Chains A and B, each alone.
Chain A
């Protein structure tokens, strides 16, 4: 008998197939097993209520990991020892997660944890995020974890309840797309710029219905933190999950982290992880090739992340009524130079760009410089680990000396539900992920960019890129060795 030929599979196929509890049928979705469930205070309370309603517990508490990030103040406790929650309701939401984690035996990284952080920063840092896993969270930026070759996507609160109760999800298999990025990113061009270029190419809905695998030389040469930035922004093109096949960069990043196996066992796990790649002839429903070498530092000008330009290019003309409305909201005219736009607020942080390499990049621009007088800048580390590391390196002093505010870890001004907001009509350059109308506060105007660009804008006081800086606002002439 001839040996049946195995069909070539994509990385996504492999991850999906390895987690099917019950296959999809014509009438019913697949039941997919979930290896890691990340939980935060905002999208979980009603999920825990399902457990109480059904009189059941969390099926696999050891596969569940919780943190406080969204509604938490970024300012320290006041003289009275109380944390400055924006409302009593926000405080109560945090207390509710604390009570739920205690009741159901879930590991919570509370205020006193040295690892507390934004859920998508903390998971990888602890090594809870591992290649080959399925990972979900009631948060659309769960796509971040795909950087490790995990199938990771955001879910709603009802589904949070399902996973708490059964460690499984009902899912129809999405389509597959591969984006090959050839060439290499030029100097000063970051993963954020790459992602904004990809989203502009696809449109903010071009990835809807797909899981995207990123491949090609430009992607391979990214470090893990940059890969997380890229996968994080996958949802901004409408795709729930982004994937990058694990390689030595992945293995090196995870080695020695708290939740990965150690020593010999790690070496064996790593060997398995390195097998996770799309087969040579794997089929994709859509395949796109882009060239990284022409990409430049990029910034958004509209109210969706697909509306972006290379810094230095004029604001493009609107191509439909919705874009027209976006330009009006943002106070831009077609043809106008982006550099004319005065910047009021700069935010460096979030699950997109709140990691140590992001803070180092912003600090390298600010070192020895001062913010323009009218600019307010917040720097919010993605986790307590990052905060400590930044303080060891003295980055917090670089920020403070430049005139920026150094805050406590959390989502902060990205989702602006903790009181850190951009006032109506003001322009913020933000390293976060969404420039939707009102995202950073009612009436706020958001320009998305990399940490380097954000820092350059803070110094110049208007839209700028690092190369524009010259000796602007340099306090002391740096000695060159």
Chain B
């Protein structure tokens, strides 16, 4: 897993609420046996018409989309299916961070496991970000802080909370499996207990 410490870049806003994992990666792309290249199909039904041609007006088809590492989605991002293909598709598309005012449980833990940083901000901060499409912000996992520049040029710092173990692993690019693996004695003891 790639480590994540701090990133500055433009945001891409998808304002819609309840963006479910079927939108992020439609089920017909789930017949794969590895995640290579899955980013090409991210938001396929939003980006392409029935013939597979890119829909011109869509923000995800603008040249900037591939260079915007921070996705800001509407409330309750990532709801629905448990498919880990969803965070993989976002990573493959070029996102490293997803920000929303609520992120669904399974999507969030899948993101932790594959190295996509999920950030939950409060409703007011989130609402401000939804109005800042294309602007540059900084996401600092070390400080658990999002830095934005207001229209008057003043810097604003917003603190966020994240599961401490997820933060620990993301900062160092650690595979969570290794932690589980170190617990072998405890697992054996549990299995032997009546």
- Cβ of A213 within 8 Å of any chain B Cβ, yes or no, is no
Encode B174-191 as 1/0 by CB contact (under 8 A) with A.
001101110110110011
Most chain B CB within a 10 A radius of its CB, from A21, A89, A162: A21
State whether B165 touches A29 (Cβ < 8 A).
yes
- Cβ of B76 within 8 Å of any chain A Cβ, yes or no, is yes
State whether B32 touches A93 (Cβ < 8 A).
yes
State whether B164 touches A436 (Cβ < 8 A).
no
A156-173 contacts to B (CB < 8 Å): 156-159, 161-162, 165-168, 170, 172
Contacts of B27 in A (CB 8 A): 415-417, 439
Binds B, one of A273-281, A317-325, A390-398, A473-481: A317-325
Contacts of B84 in A (CB 8 A): 43, 46, 138, 156-158
State whether A434 touches B33 (Cβ < 8 A).
no
Contacts of A42 in B (CB 8 A): 30-31, 83
A322 to B187, CA, bound (A): 46
B70-94 contacts to A (CB < 8 Å): 74-76, 79-84
State whether A139 touches B82 (Cβ < 8 A).
yes
Known: A209-B105, A436-B23. A96 touches B33 (CB 8 A): yes
- Cβ of B102 within 8 Å of any chain A Cβ, yes or no, is yes
CB-based nearest A residue for B48: A442
The total of interchain contacts (Cβ-Cβ below 8 angstroms) comes to: 171
Known: A71-B31, A438-B23. A33 touches B187 (CB 8 A): yes
State whether A21 touches B45 (Cβ < 8 A).
no
Q: How large is the interface on B (under 10, 10 to 19, 20 to 34, 35 or more residues)?
A: 35 or more
A90 to B28, CA, bound (A): 9
- Cβ of B114 within 8 Å of any chain A Cβ, yes or no, is yes
State whether A205 touches B31 (Cβ < 8 A).
no
Binds A, one of B13-21, B59-67, B153-161: B13-21
User: Which single member of A70, A170, A321 contacts B165 (CB below 8 Å)?
Assistant: A170
- What's the least CB distance linking A146 to chain B, in Å? 15
A42 to B21, CA, bound (A): 15
Most chain A CB within a 10 A radius of its CB, from B74, B81, B177, B190: B81
- Cβ of B150 within 8 Å of any chain A Cβ, yes or no, is no
- Cβ of B7 within 8 Å of any chain A Cβ, yes or no, is no
CB-based nearest A residue for B16: A322
Known: A29-B165, A50-B177. A240 touches B105 (CB 8 A): yes
A174-215 contacts to B (CB < 8 Å): 174, 204-205, 208-209
- Cβ of A154 within 8 Å of any chain B Cβ, yes or no, is yes
A114 to B190, CA, bound (A): 35
Main secondary structure of the interface of A (DSSP, over half): loop
- What's the least CB distance linking B42 to chain A, in Å? 14
- What's the least CB distance linking A95 to chain B, in Å? 9
Q: How large is the interface on A (under 10, 10 to 19, 20 to 34, 35 or more residues)?
A: 35 or more
- Cβ of B26 within 8 Å of any chain A Cβ, yes or no, is yes
Contacts of A103 in B (CB 8 A): none
Contacts of B177 in A (CB 8 A): 50, 54, 158, 161-162, 165
A197 to B168, CA, bound (A): 40
State whether A140 touches B76 (Cβ < 8 A).
no
- What's the least CB distance linking B81 to chain A, in Å? 5
Contacts of A159 in B (CB 8 A): 109, 113
B102-131 contacts to A (CB < 8 Å): 102, 104-106, 109-110, 113-114
User: Which single member of A28, A93, A325 contacts B31 (CB below 8 Å)?
Assistant: A93
- What's the least CB distance linking A46 to chain B, in Å? 6
State whether A154 touches B26 (Cβ < 8 A).
no
- Cβ of A92 within 8 Å of any chain B Cβ, yes or no, is yes
- Cβ of A31 within 8 Å of any chain B Cβ, yes or no, is yes
A320 to B20, CA, bound (A): 17
- Cβ of A22 within 8 Å of any chain B Cβ, yes or no, is yes
State whether A205 touches B186 (Cβ < 8 A).
no
Contacts of A204 in B (CB 8 A): 18, 76, 79
- Cβ of B34 within 8 Å of any chain A Cβ, yes or no, is yes
State whether B102 touches A208 (Cβ < 8 A).
yes
- What's the least CB distance linking B126 to chain A, in Å? 14
A222-267 contacts to B (CB < 8 Å): 235, 238-240
The 10 closest A-B pairs by CB, nearest first: A156-B110, A156-B84, A154-B82, A158-B113, A322-B17, A45-B33, A205-B76, A157-B84, A417-B27, A140-B82
Show 12 A/B contacts (Cβ-Cβ < 8 Å), sorted by A: A46-B84, A86-B28, A139-B82, A156-B83, A158-B113, A166-B187, A172-B163, A304-B18, A321-B16, A322-B18, A434-B80, A436-B22
Task: List chain B positions with a Cβ less than 8 A from chain A.
Answer: 15-18, 20, 22-23, 26-28, 30-35, 45, 50, 74-76, 79-84, 102, 104-106, 109-110, 113-114, 163-165, 168, 176-177, 179-181, 183-184, 186-187, 190-191
Task: List chain A positions with a Cβ less than 8 A from chain B.
Answer: 21-22, 26-29, 31, 33, 42-43, 45-46, 49-50, 54, 70-71, 86-87, 89-90, 92-93, 96, 138-140, 154-159, 161-162, 165-168, 170, 172, 174, 204-205, 208-209, 235, 238-240, 304, 320-322, 325, 415-417, 424, 434, 436-439, 442-443
9 new A-B pairs (CB below 8 Å) besides A21-B186, A54-B177?
Answer: A21-B190, A26-B164, A27-B168, A31-B186, A86-B28, A156-B106, A159-B113, A168-B180, A320-B17
